[in-house]
Chain A
Amino acid sequence: MAVHDLHVLSGADASVRHDADVLVIGGGPAGTWAAVSAAARGARVLLTDKGYCGTSGATAPSGTGVWHVPRDAAAREKAKASRLEMGGFLAEHAWMDRVLEQTWVNIDTLTEWGYPFPVDENGQLRRTSLQGPDYMRLMRKAAKRAGARILDHSPVLELLVDDRGAVCGAYGINRQSGSTWIARAGAVVLATGGCAFLSRALGCNVLTGDGYLLGAEVGAQLSGMEFSNAYGLGPAFASVTKSLFYNWASFYDRDGRRIEGAGSSRGRGVIAKTLATQPVYACLDRADEQVRAWMRTAQPNFFVPFDRQGIDPFTQHFPVTLRLEGTVRGTGGLHVVDESCATTVAGLYAAGDAATRELICGAFTGGGSHNAAWAMSSGFWAGAGAATFARDARAFSHRRAHRTATVGLGEDAAQVWDPDEVIRAVQAEVFPTGRNWTRSGALLEDSLGRLDAWWTRVRRGRPAAGGVQVVRAREAAAMLATSRWMYRSALQRTETRGMHRRAEHPALDPAQHHRLVSGGLDEIWVRAQAVPTPAIPGAFGGRAAA
């Protein structure tokens, strides 16, 4: 990017200044593991969260499986092979191996820290799942104990770069006090999560693609943004998009007739299609007494909406819906270029759902368990990488810092835009399953026409609201930018692979066995990039996920 035309930041631009070696943006699993890992390497760590580190993000209010597989060659081979085909063969063995190993190590660490893993009837610890509230409360404590300073309710508004374009901090605001802050740092980790477009899926409304925009504004690249159309299944009235238990559900129409082929995983397409014209009801009537009892202790949160609505989900039919979870359960995100999860920009690292998960999942979500394993692994590596970078980049605090935001922070433009109007406009393009579950070239072009027009307005104008409302304006801009990377990438991939489905190209095309890397803001570019070491190279002809 052109540094020379950027606004130089002066001390007077913010009311509080922080100095750190490593700045971690985002306090979910990836961010807290990054903080712990960076601090263990002697870095002074500052962690900022838009909400509250401990409750923020998709993990905290949920329970999650963990891709935790013993150090047994056969078991790990089986675990890796299980989703290769669904993922369109875009994952890589080396990355899966190192995630499985790092997850094993980190789960041992959690055990040492006192996470209360259950014990089975044979006296064995069972460590394939984590309860979100307990896990994230523990991770906040762990980050603090490691010496990280935590700033809650402190969204970042833009990254800062030095004269050479290396990332050297961030500028933000405390959304409760309204005071602005500057953090100067030797390196920055983006652990801001994915983008679920304010769909109210459980824990997802803080996940508005902020890190993608922050990264793209300093020249970072994205990868796999076409794999961004995950929809969570849940009661129509509720936020709880936890879908594991729907493996024991049957699905019905309003007259109580079974909907053939409808199911939680492979049959979710049938649900999406049916919902386009009529309501769909579910009932967990395939769960026996034992399974019901396990469900109560496995995911207490699953039952909260039912208990409060006075519904017995095991015997009564309740309406369900699909809420867009975008890249939170998709696999696209910031492109990482080495084992430390560095982005293409010096001093900038990406972890968790903010980063691409194609490396271990390819083109199809691995569900919560792969994402949880990726978050703790990539966070650990990104924190370490950032600490090393910061150590090598001494004297950073004397560097000049430049501001990098391209949208939402301007004050002098004449044209005014309303963040809420932009958000509704983006949602209207990305929520409908008729546009996003199965895509088509014509509808992608149709949506992109309007989204690009909005970008031009947003880019040239200024948001209507000032003060802390600037946070919502930046979220709106991030979602708008994300939708354009998504749909441009989806337009370029003229095949069906993993979760990306094209109506007019229903089969997998062996000639498109590559990643799609994207970037840019005003002009979005997308280009194919070979998978460096594809798992099962040449194993084509597989069935794409329904």
Chain B
Amino acid sequence: MIEIVSAERCTACNICVHACPTNVFDAVPGGPPRIARQADCQTCFMCELYCPADALYVAPSADRPDATAVETAPRVQALMGSYRSSIGWGSGRTATAKRDSSFELLERAH
């Protein structure tokens, strides 16, 4: 579930407020969006992909909040933006869809 909106990194662009398919965030005038409905988060990681500032962190736990997911943890710092990087979104990157090797696996799966 979504755990972190980094006040340090967030530019208050509110893209996540629009992009979240389950409407988890509320915009806050002049500041970072608020996680208003964490229980509605479906842990799809889409907000991270759409955040141009890598200011969001979605913990892997789908059914309950994760109290250990705090911004100051070095482990979390290292993971923020990692999924966006791995699919090649963001300026100066190339979408890794171009290197999608699913066809190799689909041929061997069954």
* Closest Cβ neighbor of A266 among chain B residues: B110
- Whether, in the assembled complex, A298 has its beta carbon less than 8 Å from a beta carbon of chain B, the answer is yes
A262→B98 CA distance, assembly (Å): 34
In the complex, which residues of chain A have a beta carbon less than 8 angstroms from the beta carbon of B87?
A: 131, 133-134, 300
In the complex, which residues of chain A have a beta carbon less than 8 angstroms from the beta carbon of B110?
A: 247, 265
Contact check, B60 vs A65: say whether CB atoms are below 8 A apart.
no
- Whether, in the assembled complex, A428 has its beta carbon less than 8 Å from a beta carbon of chain B, the answer is no
- Whether, in the assembled complex, B8 has its beta carbon less than 8 Å from a beta carbon of chain A, the answer is no
- Whether, in the assembled complex, A514 has its beta carbon less than 8 Å from a beta carbon of chain B, the answer is no
Q: A55-B19, A133-B49 are in contact. Are A128 and B103 (CB under 8 A)?
A: yes
In the complex, which residues of chain A have a beta carbon less than 8 angstroms from the beta carbon of B22?
A: 51, 205-206
- Counting contact residues on chain B (CB < 8 A from A), the size range is 35 or more
Chain B's nearest CB lies how many Å from the CB of A428? 16
Q: Which of A392-436 contact B (CB under 8 A)?
A: none
A474→B60 CA distance, assembly (Å): 29
Contact check, A52 vs B102: say whether CB atoms are below 8 A apart.
no
- Whether, in the assembled complex, A244 has its beta carbon less than 8 Å from a beta carbon of chain B, the answer is yes
- Whether, in the assembled complex, A175 has its beta carbon less than 8 Å from a beta carbon of chain B, the answer is yes
A60→B96 CA distance, assembly (Å): 15
A286→B63 CA distance, assembly (Å): 29
In the complex, which residues of chain B have a beta carbon less than 8 angstroms from the beta carbon of A293?
A: 101
- Whether, in the assembled complex, A61 has its beta carbon less than 8 Å from a beta carbon of chain B, the answer is yes
* Closest Cβ neighbor of B48 among chain A residues: A304
Chain A's nearest CB lies how many Å from the CB of B54? 14
Q: A60-B21, A131-B87 are in contact. Are A200 and B63 (CB under 8 A)?
A: yes
Q: Which of A119-163 contact B (CB under 8 A)?
A: 120, 126, 128-131, 133-134, 152-153
In the complex, which residues of chain B have a beta carbon less than 8 angstroms from the beta carbon of A307?
A: 79, 82
In the complex, which residues of chain A have a beta carbon less than 8 angstroms from the beta carbon of B45?
A: 61, 301, 304
Q: Mark B55-66, 1 if CB is under 8 A from A, else 0.
A: 000011111000
Q: Which of A38-94 contact B (CB under 8 A)?
A: 50-52, 54-57, 60-61, 63, 65
CB < 8 Å: which of B50, B63, B103, B105 contacts A118?
Answer: B103
Contact check, A291 vs B19: say whether CB atoms are below 8 A apart.
no
Q: A131-B97, A238-B62 are in contact. Are A299 and B102 (CB under 8 A)?
A: yes
- Whether, in the assembled complex, A203 has its beta carbon less than 8 Å from a beta carbon of chain B, the answer is yes
* Closest Cβ neighbor of A65 among chain B residues: B106
- Whether, in the assembled complex, B6 has its beta carbon less than 8 Å from a beta carbon of chain A, the answer is no
CB < 8 Å: which of A247, A297, A304 contacts B100?
Answer: A297
Contact check, B60 vs A129: say whether CB atoms are below 8 A apart.
no
CB < 8 Å: which of A51, A131, A239, A294 contacts B43?
Answer: A239
Q: Mark A268-285, 1 if CB is under 8 A from B, else 0.
A: 000000000000000000
Contact check, A237 vs B105: say whether CB atoms are below 8 A apart.
no
In the complex, which residues of chain A have a beta carbon less than 8 angstroms from the beta carbon of B103?
A: 118, 120, 126, 128-129
CB < 8 Å: which of B44, B50, B89 contacts A202?
Answer: B44
- Whether, in the assembled complex, A542 has its beta carbon less than 8 Å from a beta carbon of chain B, the answer is no
Q: A133-B87, A295-B105 are in contact. Are A237 and B23 (CB under 8 A)?
A: no
Q: Mark A218-253, 1 if CB is under 8 A from B, else 0.
A: 000000000000000001011100001101000000
* Closest Cβ neighbor of A64 among chain B residues: B102
9 contacts between A and B (CB under 8 A): A51-B20, A55-B21, A117-B97, A118-B97, A128-B103, A131-B95, A133-B49, A153-B23, A307-B82
Please name 12 further chain A to chain B contacts, defined as beta carbons within 8 Å, in addition to the given A116-B97, A238-B60, sorted by A numbering. Answer: A51-B21, A52-B21, A60-B21, A117-B98, A118-B97, A130-B97, A131-B95, A131-B100, A238-B62, A239-B43, A291-B108, A294-B104
Q: What 5 A-B pairs have minimum CB-CB distances, sorted nearest first?
A: A51-B21, A129-B102, A61-B44, A205-B42, A305-B60
